[in-house]
Structure 1
Amino acid sequence: MPRKPSHTPESLADSALAQFWYGGYEATSMDILVKKTGVSRHGIYTDYGGKKALYLACFPRYHQHVVSPVLDPVTGSGDGMAAIVGYFGRLVEMAESIGLPGPGCFVVNASTEVAPHDPEVAAKVAEHNARLETAFSTALQREQSTRLPMPHRKALARTIMIFSNGLWTASRSTDKSETLREHAAVFLDLLEYRLK
């Protein structure tokens, strides 16, 4: 009778995500993946065919575990600017729960380390950024307190996405969540001023 696997492809991707997120792609060897995930080389190759495919599988797992809990209320709340304010509060809380200084954003890390020379990873980064931008654009379209034309709101949504990625990056170099909250508060004040 064949032995039942000690892992699933999803649990393997979750374990690998933690390693790639904290350790980076290039510095993570197959030996490190075997050690950190507890899955043999054979198991990794059977499920994913190798390190690169396993890395790519980490993107949807990151979205499920980290991005969705913070971002989904932006589109689901029905609010405008209040939804964006809530998003940044949750983002800082997520960074706190992971620990500060932390690993930053898995996708932003990928955008600087791997995406510049890997089209598949670049596509994952673009997909992530588009998801953020769409959520922020949806919230800004619902904002009733502004006369700002829709094209300007869409441009602002892109700026919010860029700041969000930057705030995650800032979480890598501070041990104080108050610092992140101060950055967010200044940005939100500027955003609210622009929407007047």
Structure 2
Amino acid sequence: MAGKKQFDMDTVLDAAMIQFWRSGYAGTSLDDLSRATGLNRSSIYSSLGGKDGLFLRCLDRYAARYGDKFDAALSRAADDPVAAVRAFFDVTLGRIADPAVPDGCLMAQSVMAGPTLSPSVAEHVKELFGLQRPRLRAALKTGGMSDEDAEDFAVHVAAVNQSLAVMGRGGASPEELRAIVDVTVDAVARVRS
């Protein structure tokens, strides 16, 4: 089709996701997105729904990518809550150590940006951000924790997980981050003993 610009959606979404992750929603302009993706502004609007539409797609992509990694880690250690929590944190520590992605967590940054987001985008961010807790709770219950302990530790592990991303972005060393993980893993082990 003459005049219809073709592009690889995966490449565009990855480039835009990195841009939003690096600069945040408010710090990313349409010109930034155009430079990052190679698309002109009109293509971003017509093909991707503008800045909000592209941001939503990037959030969904991020949540699916890391959600799948968290699910795989938790399922490999399904019968042992201690191993499950360690495997869960290993996903985050691996992401923090990965030089191919920006520091921090796109989801945590996006939650913090809530006041700058449209109400519908802010609501979607909250929904995605809330996915970690039920994922953790289910894994901990499968591993034999009581409902109450599984809920308490799911909240705690999710909070520590976000803290790791913030501290990683703030320059904490891998050793400091591992020490934080070890404290939480030790607490889970004490409940199990």
1:113 deviation in Å?
Answer: 1.3
Cα distance in 1, alignment partners of residues 64 and 48 from structure 2: 19
TM, length-normalised to structure 2: 0.86
Q: In the alignment, what sits opposite 2:59? A: 59
Cα distance in 1, alignment partners of residues 168 and 71 from structure 2: 18
1:55 deviation in Å?
Answer: 0.8
Match of 2:191 among 180, 186, 194: 194
Secondary structure of the 1:171 match is helix
Identity among equivalent pairs (%):
24
Unaligned runs of 5+ in 2: none
Q: In the alignment, what sits opposite 1:113? A: 113
Q: How many aligned positions are there?
A: 192
| Contact 1:108-1:125 at 8 Å conserved across structures | no
Cα distance in 1, alignment partners of residues 139 and 116 from structure 2: 30
Q: In the alignment, what sits opposite 2:148? A: 151
* RMSD of aligned Cα (Å): 2.4
| Contact 1:75-1:138 at 8 Å conserved across structures | no
In the TM superposition, what whole-angstrom CA distance separates every residue of 1:99-147 from its partner, at most 9, and x where no partner exists? 69x4211010000013575432333333233321112111211223x5x
| Contact 2:108-2:129 at 8 Å conserved across structures | no
TM, length-normalised to structure 1: 0.85
1:66 deviation in Å?
Answer: 3.2
1:89 deviation in Å?
Answer: 1.8
For 1:35, the aligned partner's letter is R
Q: In the alignment, what sits opposite 1:181? A: 178
1:36 deviation in Å?
Answer: 1.4
| Contact 2:26-2:116 at 8 Å conserved across structures | no
Unaligned runs of 5+ in 1: none
Q: In the alignment, what sits opposite 1:95? A: 96
